[in-house]
């Protein structure tokens, strides 16, 4: 029935019974009818109750709801451009990065296999955002959403930063939050492109047509940096700014390829690229982002000697890296302990 009515992403769902939704709402201190905003393009009201129902459907445990709400606040921010993301013919999707104690408490994985499969919190939290976009915003494929091909990340794309193995301050601290805070960061990505090797190999992938739409819209690409690469950079005395500068300077689209690209010939033929792109082309090759600061750098993945990084090219406007602190109820510790006891009792049976 859910599939026939267009209420799912194609995968089975957990029925959002009244009891399940009520149990989930117990993990927040906001009223069920409170509205976080309108979800474009159909402007459905994102109430706490509706978000909780979609979280249940996605397979979220009740204690995941505070993180889901923070992520919804991110994608409802005008900087995310929900209408554009929902209706474009590009394959863009939100990427969620969870930081702080909540990532550890809920088991959001930032290490081996962080992008899946096998991790309930990663899979369900990311999927909950997709179902909110689908069911409340009306992002139905082929009817409202015209992504030409789509991508697996449009089911779910969520991970934690591997703070334990990062030599640098985590993403949420860079954004100005306290280290002990928990937060969700959202960027827009068109793909997750695996890159085996070090900074030079990542830069080689960035300096290609894969970055084209991000360059066109002055986007903020995301780089998921393997712990081994981060550790090597730190040994060489490089901080995050140094890494971003390296990638910005080396990850450049050859001017000749840019000038003959499909984007230049077919999309920008009757207008100009952004001024910073034109200026870069006059001087040489074109960087994958307007400035080094526009590169979002996240340490993630397992610590293995053949490092697996990922480049996530951006799409759309305005440039987006949106951060929201996770809001917890006053009795969070007791609620979480009770949830763990209930889960243990089920396992014991």
Choice between 269 and 38, residue whose per-residue pLDDT is larger = 38
Residue 349: predicted pLDDT: 80
State the Cα–Cα distance between residues 267 and 273, nearest whole angstrom: 10
Strand positions, DSSP E, 133-285:
158-160, 183-189, 193-196, 222-225, 252-253
Residue 107 lies inside a defined structural domain of this protein: yes
Angle (deg, nearest 10), helices 18-25 and 48-58: 110
Buried-exposed string 236-269: b where 16+ CB fall within 10 A, e elsewhere: eebebeebbbbbbebbbbeeeebeebeebeeeee
Residue 184 lies inside a defined structural domain of this protein: yes
The answer on pLDDT for 269 being more than 80 is no
Please state the φ and ψ torsions of residue 253, each to the nearest 5 degrees: -75, 125
Rg of the chain over Cα atoms, rounded to whole angstroms, equals 20
CA separation, residue 238 to residues 64, 198, 312 (Å) = 35, 13, 22
Of 228, 196, 234, 233, the residue nearest 310 (C-alpha)? 196
Residue 74 lies inside a defined structural domain of this protein: yes
| Beta strands 35-39; 158-160: pairing state | unpaired
Q: State mean pLDDT over 96-105.
A: 97
Q: Apex CA 263: angle with CA 259 and CA 267, to 5°?
A: 120
Residue 343: predicted pLDDT: 83
Q: What is the mean pLDDT of the chain?
A: 96
Of 60, 59, 36, 38, the residue nearest 48 (C-alpha)? 36
The answer on pLDDT for 109 being more than 90 is yes
Of 300, 296, 121, 143, the residue nearest 221 (C-alpha)? 296
**Range of 316's domain?**
18-251+288-325
Q: pLDDT above 70 covers what percent of the chain?
A: 100
Unique residue bearing structure tokens 């554009």: 84
Cβ contact 135:7 at 8 Å: yes
* pTM exceeds 0.75: yes
State the Cα–Cα distance between residues 9 and 21, nearest whole angstrom: 19
CA separation, residue 225 to residues 64, 150, 203 (Å) = 26, 24, 12
Q: What is the tally of structural domains in the chain?
A: 1
Summarised one tens digit per residue, pLDDT across range 241-261 is 999 999 999 999 999 999 999
Residue 267 lies inside a defined structural domain of this protein: no
Residue 45 lies inside a defined structural domain of this protein: yes
Residue 273 lies inside a defined structural domain of this protein: no
What letter would DSSP give residue 264?
I
Residue 259 lies inside a defined structural domain of this protein: no
Residue 272: predicted pLDDT: 86
Residue 283 lies inside a defined structural domain of this protein: no
Summarised one tens digit per residue, pLDDT across range 168-178 is 999 999 999 99
Choice between 347 and 139, residue whose per-residue pLDDT is larger = 139
Residue 267: predicted pLDDT: 86
């Amino acid at each position: 029935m859910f599939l026939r009515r267009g209420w799912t992403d194609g995968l089975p769902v957990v029925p959002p019974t009244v009891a399940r939704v009520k149990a989930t709402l117990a993990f927040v201190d906001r009223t069920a009818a409170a509205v976080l905003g309108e979800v474009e393009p159909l402007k459905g009201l994102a109430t706490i109750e509706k978000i909780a129902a979609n979280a249940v459907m996605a397979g979220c445990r009740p204690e995941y709801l505070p993180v889901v709400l923070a992520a919804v606040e991110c994608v409802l921010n005008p900087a995310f451009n929900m209408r554009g993301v929902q209706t474009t013919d590009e394959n863009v999707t939100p990427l969620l990065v969870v930081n702080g104690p909540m990532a550890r408490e809920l088991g959001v994985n930032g290490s081996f296999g962080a992008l899946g499969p096998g991790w309930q919190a990663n899979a369900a939290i990311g999927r909950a955002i997709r179902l909110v976009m689908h069911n409340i915003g009306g992002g139905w494929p082929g009817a409202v959403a015209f992504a030409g091909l789509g991508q697996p990340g449009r089911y779910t794309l969520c991970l934690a930063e591997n703070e334990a193995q990062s030599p640098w301050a985590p993403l949420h601290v860079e954004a100005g939050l306290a280290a002990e805070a928990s937060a969700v960061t959202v960027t827009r990505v068109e793909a997750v492109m695996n890159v085996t090797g070090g900074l030079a190999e990542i830069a080689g992938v960035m300096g290609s047509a894969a970055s084209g739409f991000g360059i066109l819209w002055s986007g903020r690409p995301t780089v998921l940096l393997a712990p081994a690469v981060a550790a090597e950079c730190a040994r060489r005395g490089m901080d995050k700014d140094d890494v971003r500068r390296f990638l910005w300077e080396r990850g450049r689209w050859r001017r000749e390829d840019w000038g003959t690209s499909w984007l230049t010939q077919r999309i920008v033929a009757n207008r100009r690229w952004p001024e910073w792109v034109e200026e870069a082309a006059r001087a040489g090759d074109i960087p994958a982002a307007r400035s080094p600061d526009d590169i979002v750098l996240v340490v993630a993945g397992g610590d293995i000697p053949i490092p697996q990084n990922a480049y996530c090219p951006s799409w759309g406007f305005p440039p987006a890296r949106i951060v929201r602190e996770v809001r917890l109820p006053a009795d969070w510790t007791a609620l979480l302990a009770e949830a763990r006891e209930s889960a243990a009792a089920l396992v014991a049976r």
